[in-house]
Amino acid sequence: MKTQEIINLKTSKTNIPINKIFKNRFSPRVFSNDDVLDKDLEIIFEATRFSPSSYNLQPWYFYVVKKNSSFFEKICSILMKGNKWAEKAPVLIIACYIKDSKYGENHYAQYDLGQAVATLVYQAQDLGYYTHQMAGFDHNKAKELIKDKNHIPWVVIALGKIGDYQKADEKLVKIDNYKPQRKERIFEII
Ligand SMILES: Cc1cc2nc3c(=O)[nH]c(=O)nc-3n(C[C@H](O)[C@H](O)[C@H](O)COP(=O)(O)O)c2cc1C
């Protein structure tokens, strides 16, 4: 299967026109070896900095880990079996929330991290990269890897260019050859 066929399948078809950034985003399991340029990482995190957060506490922190580093191998070793495809991605990001604040425990920290990650995801998409978020990793072991105890690892994000599906593991192609369904209606005016 060609990569373009996967992209065509995954591109969302909407009755109401929406920005292409939302139509084109999806979470692939096949990444290319190409590195993510440092200047692009700067752009991605510059956008992420401006995410809204409760009391403007900005309760997030990101560890960017590039392939071929010993830390990268450590992260790969704590991924759940089903997420082993992520080892091929050129960059893994450990997205952490910060639980404690000057006002005490921040009960909106995870919510705010989610918004920051959404910003990261769409800015990366705009630059031609793909992301795939993962909750499937050993959270306790991830905490041991992170030195700052106030940074709680919450999601690992694979980041990179989409890979060649014609050369990819058949099982991964099969999993990705599927269009996730969306709820039809998610709001009502009351
Ligand atoms: C918080 C979160 C955790 C996720 N964890 C995993 C994971 O561990 N493994 C995986 O393959 N995908 C994971 N995903 C990806 C979702 O399965 C995916 O976003 C969803 O199926 C919709 O597909 P799409 O992103 O391609 O539109 C996760 C997504 C989010 C937002």
Residue 163: what pLDDT? 98
Residue 167: what pLDDT? 98
Ligand 1 nearest-atom number relative to CA 25: 27
Does the Cβ of 48 fall within 6 Å of ligand 1?
A: no
pLDDT tens for each residue of the chain, 190 residues long = 999 999 999 999 999 999 999 999 999 999 999 999 999 999 999 999 999 999 999 999 999 999 999 999 999 999 999 999 999 999 999 999 999 999 999 999 999 999 999 999 999 999 999 999 999 999 999 999 998 999 999 999 999 999 999 999 999 999 999 999 999 999 999 9
**What's the CA gap between 127 and 37, in Å, rounded?**
10
pTM of the model: 0.98
Of 111, 130, 132, which is best to mutate to test ligand 1, by the most ligand atoms within 8 angstroms of its C-beta? 132
**What's the CA gap between 30 and 173, in Å, rounded?**
8
Does the Cβ of 9 fall within 6 Å of ligand 1?
A: no
Residue 40: what pLDDT? 98
- Which positions ≥6 away from 168 have C-beta within 8 Å? 30
Query: For the segment 85-124, what is each residue's pLDDT rounded down to a tens digit?
Result: 999 999 999 999 999 999 999 999 999 999 999 999 999 9
In order of start, what are the domains of the chain with their CATH numbers?
1-30+162-181 (no CATH), 33-161 (3.40.109.10)
Does the Cβ of 26 fall within 6 Å of ligand 1?
A: yes
Q: Ligand 1: distance of its center to the CA of 100 in Å?
A: 27
Residue 48: what pLDDT? 98
Vertex 24, ends 84 and 31: CA angle to 5°?
A: 25
